[in-house]
A and B are shown apart, each in its own frame.
Chain A
Amino acid sequence: MITSLWYSSKARGLAIQIALLGGLIGFAWWIGSNTVDNLIERQIKTGFDFLTAPARFPISETVVTYSPDDSFLWAYVVGVANTLWLSMITIVLATLGGLCLALARLSSHPLLSRLASGYVTLFRNIPLIVQLLFFYGLATSVFPPPSRAISVMPGVYLSLRGVYAPSLTLGPGSGLFLVVCCLAVLTAVLARRSLRKHLSAVSSVAVAVIVWIGICLLGWLLTGRPVGLEMPMLKGLNFQGGLQLSPEFSAIIIGLTLYTSAFAGEVIRGGVEAINKGQWEGGRALGLSERQILFRIIMPQALRVIVPPMTSQYLSTVKNTTLAVAVGYPELGLVVNTVINQTGQALESILIMLAVFLTISLSVSLLMNWYNARIALVER
């Protein structure tokens, strides 16, 4: 009887699982009771009451309005907003950069593909935080003060106090201008379609672009020049007007983008290379140009391979923004750190941070699984 129980895989499985579950519950209970003892012994306040109290600490940069009188809860929201803002900009820039890198590496051009592969090797093998600190060091100790700022492009200046760039000003009537621009796109597309029969592909696109620019320009003049660029102007010792990006923000955006582009580029290249060579050969046999094959045949299929690793790349970008702590940009990690220093309620603060990141990660994963199931090849 007992020997048959010992050799029954079902009974063994049950016993193992009960032992595992028991051990885990015991472990969790042990940690829980230790924590409670420690909290009592060190007289640490617990609970989430502090969230409604005024935060009383400044946050240097915010994308939503914030003042020190706002509550701790709002300070967290500001941190999350900054994290998402950084992630969004980086993801857009790095995807574009990655696409350029992938195309460069895939090209048969010997110089360009070697340059791109050198870039990827270099940036992938250096820790992101080293790159961030390097760029931050450049921004805060090497660049000159605003009065002697380096001009990299007309209107774009690098200085000790950050990057200055032209900003977009939207006056009254800019909504109307936007509508005109959209209509212009429509007109240009229609114009190209009707011209395609009479002109070559290149010249019909050129005509369409000229039509589009012309209509937009006309609309801009007629609506009273609502949209303009405000240039940063040097007045005294500092710049006035335009867009000012702090050294912290600039360093993080540049560092994160350069680093993430290298990874995104490899993901895209891997996807394109995963497509069967026969697809290229088939396209060539049909007389399509290399560009047509790449964008019409290869890319749509490669997307299926690219999307899952790209998603995890995007997720690690969101997680990587926490490194902004090292250069002092107030994203969620830094806000949490400040709150811990202010209130001493480390347990609650860190739990909030973990909860935020878990929510982002798990919801994106779920979304991706759904998307993957949708675009997966239906094989018969």
Chain B
Amino acid sequence: MANAATPPSGEKPVARLVKLLFGDPLAAALTLLSAVLILALLPLVQWAFVDAHWTVAAPEDCRAGGACWAFIGAKLRLILFGLYPPQSQWRALTVIALLLTLVLLSLSPRVWGARLLGIWTLGLVVMLLLMRGGLFGLNYVPTSKWGGLPVTLLLAVISLGLAFPFAVLLALGRRSKLPVARGVSVFLIEVVRGLPLVGLLFVAAILLPLFLPPDWTIDKLGRTVAALTIFAAAYLAEVIRGGLQGLPSGQIEASQALGIPYWRMVWHIILPQAVQKVIPPLTNTAIVMVKNTSLVLIVGVFDMLSAARSAATDPMWPAPSKEAYLFVALIYFVICFAIARYSRHLEMGVKARNRT
């Protein structure tokens, strides 16, 4: 678009801007509208930054108006780590750091492969053990005490990771020539996609114990992971199916002609190409799942949002709920925005490679 708007020679940039903003009645009206909108946002800026209280001696000092960011400072531990024992807090912090390191390590598509998968599996096991304790002299922390940001991140990563193999199976099943496999896949995908996640969480939280033998006990966190996994699998399956559909059938025929076994063909030929085609919707699903982990609040899992909500009920502070939720919103925004940016970056890489 930038090329199309190249100014005619001799016109000054200021004149061009004036023409763009006030050139005709419609443009002038829109400029006015934008100005009104921006002016309406100014009080918000004043509330959040100019009048804000960053540090206070006592909670009552926040009554003067303006955002009370001091509240976040006072409750940071509760919001980020929930009820996790304070003396073991370094473990929760290490889990976050480990997860971030793993994410940073796997950013470049060049390192993707079986080895990275192994590292991730190992990393997640280490993280879960670190959270749980009970080994190497670390004191045991039951999952009911887990909370805050580590829970949110682990829920998102584990449910997406567990869902992916199921999603591949469902997508292949839906494209299969075998009527039973196709029917079962279509049924499972459509039923799960037709239900709200809250419904699935109810099923997992209330009905799952009824479905399993009495001596099997899965704690609340495990049950929510199950619900999130099933949900993610159905949505990922549809995304992967899109990629499979875009794959030229010659690829499959050629590998069959070469006598490559089915699963090797899936792993080495079909999936790499199919996934490459659907990077934007895949990352979109990842964003949706990060956002969806917040719903576990409804079945009483203590994730970051629940922690913020319980922090906001402290009667010592004057109405701190807005600051608490804004802080949580900021963290979610940073995560989701980063994923979206990364997706665009990957897409550029794919496009550049296809062009050469």
Give chain A's interface residues, CB within 8 Å of chain B. Answer: 13, 16-17, 20-21, 24, 31, 34-35, 37-39, 41, 107-112, 115, 121-122, 124-131, 133-134, 137-138, 141-142, 319-320, 322-323, 325-326, 333, 336-337, 340, 346-347, 350, 353-354, 357-358, 361-362, 365
Q: Which residues of B contact A137 (CB under 8 A)?
A: 312, 319, 321-322, 324-325
The answer to whether the Cβ of B211 comes within 8 Å of any Cβ in the partner chain is yes
The one of B34, B210, B298 that contacts A34, using a Cβ cutoff of 8 Å: B210
Q: Which residues of A contact B105 (CB under 8 A)?
A: none
Taking a contact as CB atoms under 8 Å apart, the answer to whether A350 and B329 are in contact is: no
CB pairs A–B below 8 angstroms (29 shown): A17-B178, A17-B179, A17-B180, A20-B181, A20-B184, A35-B210, A38-B210, A109-B34, A111-B30, A111-B35, A122-B333, A124-B336, A127-B291, A127-B295, A129-B297, A129-B305, A130-B325, A130-B329, A131-B329, A134-B326, A137-B312, A137-B324, A319-B197, A325-B298, A336-B202, A346-B206, A347-B210, A357-B199, A362-B194
Taking a contact as CB atoms under 8 Å apart, the answer to whether B207 and A130 are in contact is: no
Contact of A350 with B203 at beta-carbon distance under 8 Å, contacts A17-B178, A133-B305, A326-B298 already known: yes
Q: How far is the CB of A11 from chain B (nearest CB, A)?
A: 12
Contact of A16 with B337 at beta-carbon distance under 8 Å, contacts A109-B27, A325-B298 already known: no
Bound together, the chains give a CA A37 to CA B321 distance in angstroms of 45
Q: How far is the CB of A130 from chain B (nearest CB, A)?
A: 5
Bound together, the chains give a CA A374 to CA B31 distance in angstroms of 41
Bound together, the chains give a CA A333 to CA B329 distance in angstroms of 24
Bound together, the chains give a CA A141 to CA B337 distance in angstroms of 30
Q: How far is the CB of B188 from chain A (nearest CB, A)?
A: 10
The answer to whether the Cβ of B33 comes within 8 Å of any Cβ in the partner chain is yes
Taking a contact as CB atoms under 8 Å apart, the answer to whether A31 and B211 are in contact is: yes
Q: Which one of A39, A107, A126 has the greatest number of beta carbons of chain B within 10 Å?
A: A126
The answer to whether the Cβ of B352 comes within 8 Å of any Cβ in the partner chain is no
- Nearest-neighbor residue (CB-CB) of B188 within chain A: A24
Interface residues of B in 287-320 (CB under 8 A from A): 287, 291-292, 294-295, 297-298, 305, 309, 312, 319
The answer to whether the Cβ of B177 comes within 8 Å of any Cβ in the partner chain is yes
Taking a contact as CB atoms under 8 Å apart, the answer to whether A134 and B202 are in contact is: no
The answer to whether the Cβ of B120 comes within 8 Å of any Cβ in the partner chain is no
Bound together, the chains give a CA A41 to CA B294 distance in angstroms of 34
Q: Which residues of A contact B326 (CB under 8 A)?
A: 134
Taking a contact as CB atoms under 8 Å apart, the answer to whether A358 and B177 are in contact is: no
Bound together, the chains give a CA A133 to CA B320 distance in angstroms of 12
Q: A322-B198, A365-B190 are in contact. List 9 more A-B contacts (CB 8 A).
A: A17-B181, A20-B184, A109-B34, A125-B287, A126-B291, A126-B336, A129-B295, A137-B322, A326-B297
Which applies to chain B's interface (DSSP): helix, strand, loop or mixed? Answer: helix
Q: Which residues of A contact B181 (CB under 8 A)?
A: 16-17, 20
The answer to whether the Cβ of B195 comes within 8 Å of any Cβ in the partner chain is yes
Q: Which residues of A contact B203 (CB under 8 A)?
A: 350, 354
Bound together, the chains give a CA A325 to CA B295 distance in angstroms of 10
The answer to whether the Cβ of B265 comes within 8 Å of any Cβ in the partner chain is no
Bound together, the chains give a CA A154 to CA B30 distance in angstroms of 25
Q: Which residues of A contact B324 (CB under 8 A)?
A: 137
Chain B interface size, under 10 / 10 to 19 / 20 to 34 / 35 or more: 35 or more
Q: How far is the CB of B245 from chain A (nearest CB, A)?
A: 15
Bound together, the chains give a CA A339 to CA B285 distance in angstroms of 33
Taking a contact as CB atoms under 8 Å apart, the answer to whether B319 and A141 are in contact is: yes
Q: Which one of A24, A125, A137, A142 has the greatest number of beta carbons of chain B within 10 Å?
A: A125
Q: How far is the CB of A213 from chain B (nearest CB, A)?
A: 22
Q: Which residues of B contact A362 (CB under 8 A)?
A: 190, 194
Bound together, the chains give a CA A201 to CA B340 distance in angstroms of 45
Bound together, the chains give a CA A333 to CA B203 distance in angstroms of 12
Q: Which residues of B contact A346 (CB under 8 A)?
A: 206-207, 210
Q: Which residues of A contact B214 (CB under 8 A)?
A: 37-38, 41
Bound together, the chains give a CA A34 to CA B211 distance in angstroms of 6
Taking a contact as CB atoms under 8 Å apart, the answer to whether B193 and A361 are in contact is: yes
Taking a contact as CB atoms under 8 Å apart, the answer to whether B325 and A133 are in contact is: yes
Taking a contact as CB atoms under 8 Å apart, the answer to whether A34 and B213 are in contact is: yes
- Nearest-neighbor residue (CB-CB) of B318 within chain A: A141
Q: How far is the CB of A158 from chain B (nearest CB, A)?
A: 14
Taking a contact as CB atoms under 8 Å apart, the answer to whether B194 and A333 are in contact is: no
Taking a contact as CB atoms under 8 Å apart, the answer to whether A129 and B294 are in contact is: yes
Q: How far is the CB of B302 from chain A (nearest CB, A)?
A: 15
- Nearest-neighbor residue (CB-CB) of B33 within chain A: A112
Q: How far is the CB of B190 from chain A (nearest CB, A)?
A: 7
Contact of A333 with B199 at beta-carbon distance under 8 Å, contacts A111-B21, A362-B194 already known: yes
Instruction: Give per-residue flags for B248-265: 1 if the beta carbon is below 8 A from chain A beta carbons, else 0.
Output: 000000000000000000
